[in-house]
Structure 1
Amino acid sequence: MKITIVGGSKGTGAQLAALAQAAGHEVTVVSRSGSAPSGVRTVIGNATDPAVAAQAVAGADVVVVTVGGAKGVSRQRAAVTKSVIGAMQKAGVRRLVVQSSLGAGDSGSQMPAPLRIIMQAVLAKALADHNEQEAAVQGSGLDWTIVRPTGLTDKEPTGTWKALTTNEDGRLGGSIPRRDLAACMLGILSDDSTIGKALGVSS
């Protein structure tokens, strides 16, 4: 599989790039800094630039967006995601997986009430960015899946996780190691049953 990861220079994206490469996939990472896991193809630049986005998604089987916020930039996640969606639509690339956050969209119901109140207060700007991002994804007409992790950690992976839609029974935990989230996302890339779904993910 040819996988493009936008935001793959660090964090979950870098973990996913390493796992995907180890599994034998062809991986392209889009990075403003040019840093990326060893051995992957790198496209250097900001994916909000249509030319960079077009170069990144060309020939891909699936595109993954794992970008975070950028200092001094309003709604960076939404801007990058919209640019990538436009490039995918022009190139005829259908499969899109986007990392959002628990608390975005309708996922507040998956969180304990005290945590929900804290997140809405402390992370209001980030959640507004994710809400705009998710709206663009859901209106894209692409074969999308949204992944909403709980708090991300750098702890050792456990190899297990929960992935639930808001319609499913069960309660999510408060955190997940980035490596476990990356492994979960790698499985989602080839799981057509997740298309059109937003999944809350935790340990």
Structure 2
Amino acid sequence: MKVLVVGASGGSGRATVRELGHRGHEVTAFSRHATTVAGQVDGGPLRGLNGDATDPGDVDDAVRGQDAVIITLGISENPVRVRLRGPAHTSLDVRSRGTAVVVEAMRRHGVRRLVVQTSYGVGPTRTHLPMLQRLVFWVLLRPQIVDTERQERIVRSSGLDWTAVQPVNLTDDDPAGPPFVSTTGATRSMKVARTQVAWLLAESVESDDHIGSTLSLSAR
């Protein structure tokens, strides 16, 4: 399967590129610095394509000829700095703007399968978030959460065969065994490894079982 990963140079994006490669897919890694991902995958072919996810021309070139698209867009900068001064290298609305551009390109080229990493605590899982986490969202992460809510709405109204994956707090742990996945917003903990997120993103691309569903993801 030809799979495009948008936001491929971030933590989850890199892990997803590796996971897809191990499974033998033909992967296109797309980001502003996608060529830094090249050479990290064993298995299927890997193409690094530099571009801006909010630029329709760049995205059109990346989407053309793909079978599926995975979006892992986000802001990797310090959240305190982002809250006080705004991001230095990424637009604050990168999730929603980038997702909207990708959706339009997918419609134009007839690419149906879309899997998007959003965040636990937005959309249908908003009421499941623990009180302390809600406070963090409101005080520290509010601009990013507002943008992620907008992203979720774009995905749900896209008319594509979408799946939204909502991980809880991300870590760089190396866990043993699969993560806990739920369609009801249930979790087993408030952390999950990026490698586990990548596993579920790849699983979701390969299966039609959860089209139109939101999957919550946590460590067991």
Shorter-chain TM-score: what band?
A: over 0.9
Partner in structure 2 of residue 8 of structure 1: 8
Question: Structure 1: where are the runs of 5+ without partners?
Answer: none
Partner in structure 2 of residue 26 of structure 1: 26
The whole-number CA distance in structure 2 between the counterparts of 1:102 and 1:57 is 27
The whole-number CA distance in structure 2 between the counterparts of 1:32 and 1:119 is 27
**TM-score when normalising by structure 1:** 0.93
- AA matched with 1:62: A
Q: What are the within-5 Å matches in structure 2 for residues 90-101 of structure 1?
A: 90-101=108-119
1:198 aligns with 2:204: no
- Contact kept in structure 2, 1:96 and 1:144, CA below 8 Å: yes
- AA matched with 1:35: T
CA RMSD of aligned residues (A): 1.6
- Contact kept in structure 2, 1:158 and 1:180, CA below 8 Å: no
- AA matched with 2:26: E
Q: 1:74 and 1:115, CA in 2 relative to 1: closer, same or farther beyond 3 A?
A: closer
**TM-score when normalising by structure 2:** 0.86
- Contact kept in structure 2, 1:157 and 1:178, CA below 8 Å: no
Q: Which residue of 182, 201, 205 maps to 1:189?
A: 205
1:97-144 Cα deviation digits (max 9, x unpaired): 001001111212333233233323321111101001111111110000
The whole-number CA distance in structure 1 between the counterparts of 2:160 and 2:17 is 22
- AA matched with 1:116: R
- Contact kept in structure 2, 1:17 and 1:29, CA below 8 Å: yes
Q: What are the within-5 Å matches in structure 2 for residues 162-177 of structure 1?
A: 162-166=180-184, 170-177=186-193
The whole-number CA distance in structure 2 between the counterparts of 1:37 and 1:151 is 27
Runs of 4+ in 1 over 6 A off after TM superposition: none
- Contact kept in structure 1, 2:187 and 2:216, CA below 8 Å: no
Q: Which residue of 69, 75, 82 maps to 1:69?
A: 75
Partner in structure 1 of residue 161 of structure 2: 143
What SS does the aligned partner of 1:144 have? strand
- Contact kept in structure 2, 1:172 and 1:200, CA below 8 Å: no
1:40 aligns with 2:46: yes
- AA matched with 2:216: G
Q: What is the Cα deviation at residue 161 of structure 1?
A: 1.0
Q: What is the Cα deviation at residue 74 of structure 1?
A: 2.6
Question: Structure 2: where are the runs of 5+ without partners?
Answer: 40-44, 77-86
Q: What is the Cα deviation at residue 46 of structure 1?
A: 0.2
The whole-number CA distance in structure 2 between the counterparts of 1:90 and 1:114 is 42
